[in-house]
Amino acid sequence: MAENAAMMHEFLIKAAGLGAIRGERVLFSDLSLEVKAGEALVLRGANGAGKSTLLRMLGGLSRPDAGAVERPVRHHWIGHRNGLKPHETPRAHLTHWGRVWGSNANAREIAGQMGIERPFDVAGRLLSAGQKRRTAIARLLLADRPLWLLDEPFSALDTQGKALVTALIDKHRASGGAVIAALHGEAPFEATGEVQL
């Protein structure tokens, strides 16, 4: 299992001396972090402080303007955009990414777990913001990947949805996974570290 493989690594992600420049402004500099199995790191900061930028660097989407990221394990990405196409139903979305990741998971079961069984065959453009978010988060359950990078995972979710995602994060950490999440407000899970930007 991937989770056991995660246990064998000393860390799941490590960044040293990271720096980001936007235009003429330094967003952050000399930022270092390390996340081990079971940990949860919360990224905090005002709008525009660079939370998403940092997360994109950690995921390998943006090249750091300084420093380097080391990521020995595979990761899941829940960005600020959901990755759901307007014509795509939750069924098509989960089946598609299941194929990409060679997953044997049952898309309908996962949809049931995320409470999107009812709109399972409804096109993305007709879903509510919360249902779209739940569909994106359901990707986390398709394949076992030790590291989760989450950008505002609770946005658009109702109370029940928040509780669901919190439970997922707790379970993931208990089985040796780790989470890095950019958040506004209180973290509903117990964070082991915090980066203030």
Partner 1 sequence: MRSPSPLRAAFRQALGEAWAGGAGVLLPIGFFAGAAMLVPFTVGSEASQLSSIGTGILWVALALASLVSMERVFQADLEDGVLELWAQEETPLFLVAAAKIIAHWLVSGLPLVLLTPPIGIALQVDPGALVPAMLAYGLGGLAFFLWGGVAGALAASVARGGLLISLLALPLFVPTAIFGALATIEGPGGPSLLFLSATTLFALSIAPFAASAALRLAVD
Q: Shortest distance, CB of residue 4 to partner 1, whole angstroms? A: 20
Nearest residue (CB) to partner 1, 135 versus 189: 135
Nearest residue (CB) to partner 1, 99 versus 171: 99
How far apart CA 103 and CA 144 sit, in angstroms, is 9
How far apart CA 125 and CA 119 sit, in angstroms, is 12
Q: Shortest distance, CB of residue 19 to partner 1, whole angstroms? A: 15
Q: Name the residues that contact partner 1, by CB under 8 A.
A: 56, 59-63, 74-75, 77, 79-88, 92, 96-97, 99-102
Q: For the chain, how many residues are written?
A: 197
Q: Shortest distance, CB of residue 63 to partner 1, whole angstroms? A: 7
Nearest residue (CB) to partner 1, 61 versus 126: 61
Q: Shortest distance, CB of residue 159 to partner 1, whole angstroms? A: 25
**Residue 184 · residue 152 · CB < 8 Å:** yes
Nearest residue (CB) to partner 1, 77 versus 189: 77
**Cα angle 142-146-147, degrees, rounded to a multiple of 5:** 100
Q: Using alpha carbons, select from 147, 151, 179 the residue that is nearest to residue 190.
A: 179
Nearest residue (CB) to partner 1, 43 versus 136: 136
In whole angstroms, how far apart are CA 97 and each of 6, 65, 90, 138, 178? Answer: 22, 31, 11, 10, 21
Q: Shortest distance, CB of residue 87 to partner 1, whole angstroms? A: 4
